[in-house]
């Protein structure tokens, strides 16, 4: 009997314990359901697999293409801001930051410049993280993707070096801890970009279509870095293998990111195509992107811009979801033409330029309806130089290369600034500024090693 009572008591205790456990379990489940959810937060443990490495790769490519010329909303990209800073576009907007960029008086605290700079730096970081993950989890099966990450890093650094002053830190965040670097000269940035392109080329050795695409992109990036370093002959040799028909493009869609040029021009009329004259008269050194009526930069006059006063000329190259060539075979042809120019071979330069005019390459999906008439051979080196940079400006319009070319004309061709950049009266009052590149913004001052631009030389 005593044994039965003890068994019954034990059963009651066990039952009570079970109920308590059930109650506790139910409570924990409810707590979990009601706990704050953070689907946008990815912890380091979530990216420790081959699938996650591929996810990081896809995210880095998307960030790269969006950061150059894609977006949704009233926020420009680095290619657009450099278009304002140079003669490609003029501000038909009311925002002071856009007017300042157009006038070349942008300050380090500029609220538009800082996000553009941060985006380029983050693009490097995303690609670096993806590269490390691919190397760890797919060391022998992801060579092409690893090579593409080297391309993204190299290209982002080239863009930083071409657009910002001497004194660019190239820091990384590793394991959540910032690894700050000292500021680097633009030349050091270009040299590092060329080396990273070489690292990518060492991986892009297969012959399939995807690898060939990445290898050509890396080749153009390396050639562009060499050109920025003043190594024109070496750059020409580097890109000689890239076919003129090659394109590595950024693709855009209405369900993801719109083409940024469509946003700032057709959709909102905030950027008007630039010209060599405006309400103040002739603009010294500006190219006639409108009045030349060159089919490479088609324009249409449509009333006034967003500010209601600036005559608005709409670009006709890109629609809402049109792709944009980030690098292409045309770039390689122009690098080779410039090498001919630097070597004093004006005839060789003209052969390349007129071949392009006779067979205009497709850029994105934009293709000229007919050929262009051949150009006469200039009679002097200085005339050939002017002709080359004019031709290049029309071929590469809106693709983020104009500012780098202006700086190189001062740095490598020894032209004074007032023979290269727009000077004189600015159409929205005042004078054009004296900046030859963007300053590194104040957001970089979180880096304890950064104390401002090393210098503002081109």
pLDDT reading at 424 higher than 80: yes
pLDDT, position 74: 78
Q: pLDDT band for position 41 (50/70/90)?
A: low
Please give the C-alpha separations between residue 280 and each of 72, 269, 336, in angstroms, as whole numbers.
Answer: 34, 21, 38
pLDDT, position 38: 55
Strand partners, 168: 184
Q: pLDDT band for position 21 (50/70/90)?
A: very low
Set out the domains of the chain in order of their start, with CATH numbers.
Answer: 47-254+322-446 (1.25.40.390)
Q: pLDDT band for position 337 (50/70/90)?
A: very high
Q: pLDDT band for position 314 (50/70/90)?
A: very high
Q: What's the whole-number mean pLDDT along residues 383-389? A: 98
Tokens coding 372: 């262009």
Q: pLDDT band for position 437 (50/70/90)?
A: very high
Lowest mean pLDDT among 67-71, 126-130, 234-238, 271-275: 67-71
pLDDT, position 235: 98
pLDDT reading at 26 higher than 50: no
> Which of these, 95, 126, 88, 94, lies nearest to 112 by C-alpha position?
95
Read off the pLDDT of residues 81-111 as tens digits, 9 standing for 90 and up: 999 999 999 999 999 999 999 999 999 999 9
CA dist., res. 448 & res. 93, Å (int)? 36
* Mean pLDDT rounded to a whole number for the chain: 91
Read off the pLDDT of residues 123-173 as tens digits, 9 standing for 90 and up: 999 999 999 999 999 999 999 999 999 999 999 999 999 999 999 999 998
Read off the pLDDT of residues 229-253 as tens digits, 9 standing for 90 and up: 999 999 999 999 999 999 999 999 8
CA dist., res. 348 & res. 97, Å (int)? 43
pLDDT, position 70: 79
Tokens coding 410: 């001062």
Pairing of strands 177-179, 277-278: unpaired
pLDDT reading at 1 higher than 60: no
pLDDT reading at 291 higher than 90: yes
Read off the pLDDT of residues 339-369 as tens digits, 9 standing for 90 and up: 999 999 999 999 999 999 999 999 999 999 9
Please give the C-alpha separations between residue 70 and each of 84, 253, 325, in angstroms, as whole numbers.
Answer: 17, 9, 12
CB 270: neighbour CB atoms within 10 A? 24
Measured on CA atoms in the order 157, 161, 163, 166, is the torsion positive or negative? positive
Q: pLDDT band for position 71 (50/70/90)?
A: confident
């Amino acid at each position: 009997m005593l044994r039965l009572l003890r068994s019954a008591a034990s059963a009651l205790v066990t039952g009570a314990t079970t109920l308590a456990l059930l109650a506790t379990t139910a409570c924990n489940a409810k707590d979990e359901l009601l706990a704050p959810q953070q689907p946008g937060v990815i912890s380091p443990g979530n990216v420790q697999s081959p699938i996650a490495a591929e996810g990081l790769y896809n995210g880095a490519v998307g960030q790269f293409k969006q950061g150059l010329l894609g977006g949704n909303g009233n926020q420009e990209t680095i290619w657009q801001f450099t278009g304002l800073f140079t003669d490609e576009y003029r501000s038909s907007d009311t925002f002071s930051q856009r007017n300042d960029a157009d006038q070349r008086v942008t300050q380090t605290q500029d609220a538009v410049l800082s996000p553009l700079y941060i985006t380029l730096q983050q693009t490097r970081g995303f690609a670096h993280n993806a590269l490390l993950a691919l190397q760890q989890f797919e060391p022998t099966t992801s060579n092409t993707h690893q090579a593409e990450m080297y391309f993204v890093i190299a290209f982002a650094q080239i863009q930083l070096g071409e657009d910002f002053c001497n004194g660019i830190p190239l820091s990384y965040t590793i394991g959540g801890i910032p690894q700050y670097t000292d500021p680097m000269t633009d030349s050091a940035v270009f040299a590092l970009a060329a080396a990273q392109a070489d690292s990518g080329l060492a991986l892009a050795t297969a012959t399939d279509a995807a690898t060939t695409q990445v290898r050509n992109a890396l080749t153009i990036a390396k050639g562009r870095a060499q050109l920025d370093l003043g190594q024109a002959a070496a750059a020409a040799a580097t890109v000689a293998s890239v076919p003129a028909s090659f394109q590595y493009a950024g693709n855009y869609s209405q369900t993801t990111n719109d083409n940024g040029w469509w946003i700032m021009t057709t959709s909102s009329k905030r950027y008007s195509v630039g010209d060599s004259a405006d309400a103040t008269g002739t603009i010294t050194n500006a190219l006639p992107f409108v009045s030349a009526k060159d089919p490479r930069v088609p324009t249409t006059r449509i009333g006034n811009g967003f500010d209601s006063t600036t005559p608005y000329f709409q670009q006709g190259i890109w629609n809402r979801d049109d792709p944009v060539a980030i690098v292409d075979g045309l770039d390689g042809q122009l690098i080779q033409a410039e090498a001919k120019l630097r070597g004093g071979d004006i005839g060789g330069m003209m052969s390349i330029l007129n071949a392009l005019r006779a067979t205009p390459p497709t850029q994105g999906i934009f293709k000229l309806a007919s050929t262009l008439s051949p150009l006469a051979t200039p009679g002097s080196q200085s005339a050939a130089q002017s002709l080359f940079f004019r031709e290049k400006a029309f071929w590469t319009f809106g693709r983020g290369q104009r500012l780098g070319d202006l700086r190189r004309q001062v740095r490598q061709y020894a032209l004074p600034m007032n023979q290269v950049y727009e000077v004189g009266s600015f159409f929205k009052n005042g004078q054009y500024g004296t900046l030859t590149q963007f300053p590194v913004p104040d957001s970089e001052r979180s880096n304890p090693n950064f104390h401002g631009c090393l210098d503002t030389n081109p």
